[in-house]
Structure 1
Amino acid sequence: MKVAVFRKEHFNAAHRLFNPDWDDDTNFKVFGKCSNPHYHGHNYELYVQLIGEVNPKTGYVYDMKLLSDVIREHVIKKFDHKNLNLDTEYFKDKIPTAENIAVIIYDILRKEIDADLELKIRLYETERNFVEYPVG
């Protein structure tokens, strides 16, 4: 019996969408105001989904308190109230789009969560824009 459990977390972060191989005009044409050289911020909503068998001894797929602790320790502490371009090592060579942020969060959490559990990330950059990884 597989069940999906979800944990919702929140973080605020600034970023700039900018390809250093392009000039400012090209960056603006591709990324619009998101390429502002003075950065801009989002109130990100993060959903972490785990899918797995219910443990008959605990009744849990995964202890939600533990999941919250893992997310806070390994993601929120690193991203919350940070400039993703400047304050994290993850985006030194990657553009911090919602897509790339979701993949990075997945990679971080995948190392911390038992491989028997399927892991999915949904990241809302705005109320209307969100990404999921992996898909399918």
Structure 2
Amino acid sequence: MMIHITRKEHFNAAHRMYREEWSDEQNAEVFGKCANPNWHGHNYNLLVTVKGEITHATGYLIDLKDLKVIINDYVIEKLDHKNLNKDVDFMAGKMASTELLCIEIFNQLKAPIEANEGVFLHSVKLYETENNSAEYFGD
């Protein structure tokens, strides 16, 4: 029987929305306060949903302690208290938008999660604020 399980994690990170080839005025016009040259930060909430068949012997899809370790090792340790524009290898050369960050988190988690037999990454949902989030289900 197919089940979906979601693990919630949290991290804090700074970023700046801007394009180097644009003037400060154009960046401010397009990105508003998010273009602040002194950066700004968010308290992100991350929801990772996996799916698959329940294992008869254990009664669950995946040990949630194992899922927590994967999320921590592949995402949280790389993002927490970091500058998304400067410190995060998988964000290099990309705009630090919530949408692109959500996609890149999915890409970081897919292989290690799916290395667990019968477990598939269903979605990643990333809350930048209480009111704003992005969700990615893969290609």
- Do both share a fold (TM > 0.5)? yes
Q: Give the counterpart of 1:119 among 117, 122, 132.
A: 122
2:76 is paired with a residue of what secondary structure?
helix
TM-score (structure 2 length as normaliser): 0.92
For 1:103, the equivalent position in structure 2 comes to 103
For 1:132, the equivalent position in structure 2 comes to 135
Cα contact 2:13–2:80 (8 A) shared by 1: yes
Q: State the distance in 1 between where 2:138 and 2:105 align.
A: 15
> Gaps (5+ residues) in structure 1?
none
For 2:50, the equivalent position in structure 1 comes to 50
> Gaps (5+ residues) in structure 2?
none
For 2:15, the equivalent position in structure 1 comes to 15
Moved runs in structure 1, 4+ residues, more than 3 A? none
Q: Give deviations 1:86-114, integer Å, cap 9, x for gaps.
A: 11122221011000110110000012111
Aligned length: 136
TM-score (structure 1 length as normaliser): 0.94
Q: Give deviations 1:30-79, integer Å, cap 9, x for gaps.
A: 11100101100000000000111111121111110000011111111000
RMSD of aligned Cα (Å): 1.5
Cα contact 1:106–1:119 (8 A) shared by 2: no
Q: State the distance in 2 between where 1:28 and 1:135 align.
A: 32
Task: Quote the sequence identity (%).
Answer: 45
Q: Which amino acid aligns with 1:49?
A: T
Cα contact 2:106–2:138 (8 A) shared by 1: no
